Copies of this chain bind each other. A is one copy, B any other.
Amino acid sequence: MNDTRSEIIRLGSELIRSVGYNSFSYADISKALNIKNAAIHYYFPSKSDLGVEIIKRNLNAFNELTKTWEGLDYKLQFSNYIHMHDSFIGNHWLCIVGSLSPSYDTLPENMQKELKGLVNTILKWLTALLDNGLKTNIFSFTETPRTKAFIVHSALLSSLQMNKVLKNDVYKSIQEGLLNI
C-alpha cells in the first residue's frame, strides 16, 4: 500500500481522536505531510471517504484483535478489552466511537452507517463475553449481560472523554472499578 495514503489515514485517525472529525481539515494533514490538499483529495475524494476508511480500519482491527483472544479465559479477555486504549491516555485521545458519536447528527450518512456497525460489533462481542462469563460463574453481576455490556462500554468510552477534561486518574479509576467483576 502506498505510503502517502497510509500516512493520510494515520494522521486522520490521530486528528479524529484528538480534535474530532469536524474540527480537522485537509489543510492540517497536508501541512503535516508536506503535500497539497489536492493530493489528499486524490486518495480520498471527499472527507467522508477518509472518515469511512478510518472507521472501517477500526472495525477490522477490533475483529482481528478479539480473534487473537479466542481461547483465552474470560477474565483475561475482559481485562484485555478494558486495557485496549491504554496507550491513548497520555495524549488525551479518544476512541473512535467516543469521538464520533457525540457529533453523530453532523456526520455524513455513510459514516453514520459505518459507525453504527462498529458500535454494534463491539457491543455484540462484549455481551457474548459477559454472558459466557456469567454462565460459567467466572463473572458475577446482577444486570443482564446486555445491560452490563452497555454500562461497561459507556463508562470506558466516557472515561477517555473525562480524561481530556480532568486530566486526572479518572480513566484508571474506572478501569479498576470495571475490572472488579
Interface residues of A (CB under 8 A from B): 18-20, 22-23, 92, 94, 97-99, 101-106, 112, 115-116, 119-120, 142-144, 146-148, 150-151, 153-159, 161-162, 164-166, 170, 173-174, 176-178, 180
Contacts and interface: CB of A to CB of B under 8 A. Distances in A.
Contact of A103 (B19, B116, B173): B19
A20 B170 contact: no
Chain A interface mostly: helix
A44 to B, nearest CB: 21
B23 A106 contact: yes
Contacts of A23: 22, 103, 106
Given A150-B159, A158-B154, A105 B177 contact: no
